Amino acid sequence: MTISRNSVLIGAAALLIGGLWAFPSLQSLYRVVHLFDADRIVENFRSAEQLGAASNMTAPDSSRPYARGSLLELPQGFLVDDQSLNTEQFLADSWTTGLLVIKSDQIVYEDYSLGNSESTRTISWSVAKSFISAMIGIAVDSGSIASIEQPVDDYATELKGSGYEGVSIKDVLQMSSGIAFNEDYGDFNSDINRWGRGFALGSPQDEFAASLSREREPGTVNHYVSIDTHVLSMVLSRATGKTVTEYMQEKLYEPLGMEYDGYWITDGDGKEMALGGLNLTLRDFAKLGSLYLHQGALPNGDQVVPADWVAASIVADAPHLQPAKDAFGYGYQWWLPLSDQGEYMAMGVYGQYIYVNPASNTVIVKLSANPFYNDISYLPSSDASHLAFFRSIAGE
């Protein structure tokens, strides 16, 4: 029997690929490299557990579902800098997978698309940061963390000698750590993408954080560094003696009465991707917004997050944190638009949002899987267009 050279090469390639695919870390790396491809992004966002290991949280027996209110009709369109956008087209063009509107603690609009449903757990990306902030506040209130004026390396001692040494917890909360970092998701060689590939291969996030250096004085410039949130998770876990998952199960998942199980994706050391690896359903994401709308308290009056922590979290308390016409301000892991209604937002890349408007008693959650997120010329990708959309709903 004669075997062609091409057949041998094809067979060898198949064996090589098959052998590589047998290693879970290489599978995860492949998924990370192709995570945001247009033909995969929607499925990837609702199956993030395939990126690696996961740490699970269980819905309590006593869940707290939202009441149903009168159906809200979305506005047909809205304005963004004098440009008119059609609502239905905007939702499609921003690859919306779920939209939930809650007014006066009642669901008045809920819709799913692109194959998602009310039970679909979706990755939060940086919306997770606001959950971490809430847990830091709880830990401060309980005395596990003495003060946010303490340096982070008082708790996470492995950060001594790094750019984080001597940086206060508060400066890290406010994305003012002074750490040198490139957060450009569109740049293959950026720091955030280097971190992502390392995460996929199982590299410890603690080591990555300890490898970073400082470029400016802490507390002087608001420079977005996602690893700052991982550092907060290091402080939280060291201070409480619990993993992020364990602490969230006890302090948020149970009290809020989450309706579905959730999970964090974890690195090779079993540490949660605190900067964006939280996976919940649309309604369960909304529960944090509702909690903050009511100053950290449940409808029965039980205080989950201290009211003074909520108040401090949604205020820009220094000049470098202030919002402007074309720029959001920043609090304790919450975004602050220029507003006379006290609005604030949790925001994640590729179109994830929790919007809270105290003046109109409104919480809106939008989940998306927008592969054109990094195209700054694409209006449906912008945070400004989403803010305008949310305001058009809150004003109805």
Helix, strand or coil, per DSSP, at residue 162: coil
**C-alpha of 7 from chain center:** 48
Distance in angstroms (rounded) separating the CA atoms of residues 391 and 381:
16
**C-alpha of 382 from chain center:** 16
Distance in angstroms (rounded) separating the CA atoms of residues 33 and 194:
11
CB 332 within 8 A of CB 315: no
Exposed e or buried b per residue across 362-385, where buried means at least 16 C-beta atoms within 10 angstroms of its C-beta:
bbbbbbbbbbbbeeeeebbbbeeb
pLDDT at position 387, please?
A: 98
pLDDT at position 16, please?
A: 41
Q: Which of 226, 249, 248 is nearest to 347 (CA)?
A: 226
HEC string of 67-90 equals: EECCCCCCCCEEEECCEEEEHHHH
Helix, strand or coil, per DSSP, at residue 175: coil
Write phi, then psi, for 263 (nearest 5 degrees). -160, 155
CATH of 55-394, one of 3.20.20.120, 3.20.20.70, 3.40.710.10, 3.30.499.10: 3.40.710.10
Distance in angstroms (rounded) separating the CA atoms of residues 262 and 231:
22
CB 275 within 8 A of CB 126: yes
Helix, strand or coil, per DSSP, at residue 350: coil
Q: What is the pLDDT of residues 309-366, one digit of tens each?
A: 999 999 999 999 999 988 999 999 999 999 999 999 999 999 999 999 999 999 999 9
Integer CA distances (angstroms), 5 to 14, 76, 78, in order = 14, 62, 62
Find the length of the chain: 396
CB 362 within 8 A of CB 102: yes
Helices (H), 306-361: 307-313
Domain spans in the chain, listed from the N-terminal domain onward = 5-34, 55-394
- Look up residue 306 and give its amino acid: P
Beta bridge pairs of residue 353: 347, 366
Distance in angstroms (rounded) separating the CA atoms of residues 99 and 337:
20
- Look up residue 8 and give its amino acid: V
CB 178 within 8 A of CB 217: yes
pLDDT at position 3, please?
A: 45
pLDDT at position 24, please?
A: 60
CB 282 within 8 A of CB 351: no
Q: Which of 339, 336, 328, 286 is nearest to 311 (CA)?
A: 336
Let me know the angle formed at the C-alpha of 366 by 360 and 369, rounded to the nearest 5 degrees: 165
Let me know the angle formed at the C-alpha of 229 by 228 and 230, rounded to the nearest 5 degrees: 90
Q: Which residues of the chain have pLDDT under 70?
A: 1-25, 396
DSSP structural state of residue 189: T
Distance in angstroms (rounded) separating the CA atoms of residues 304 and 66:
18
Query: What is the maximal distance between C-alpha atoms in the chain?
Result: 82
Question: How buried is 12 (Cβ within 10 angstroms: 0-12 exposed, 13-18 middle, 19+ buried)?
Answer: exposed
Distance in angstroms (rounded) separating the CA atoms of residues 250 and 253:
6
DSSP structural state of residue 144: S
- Look up residue 105 and give its amino acid: D
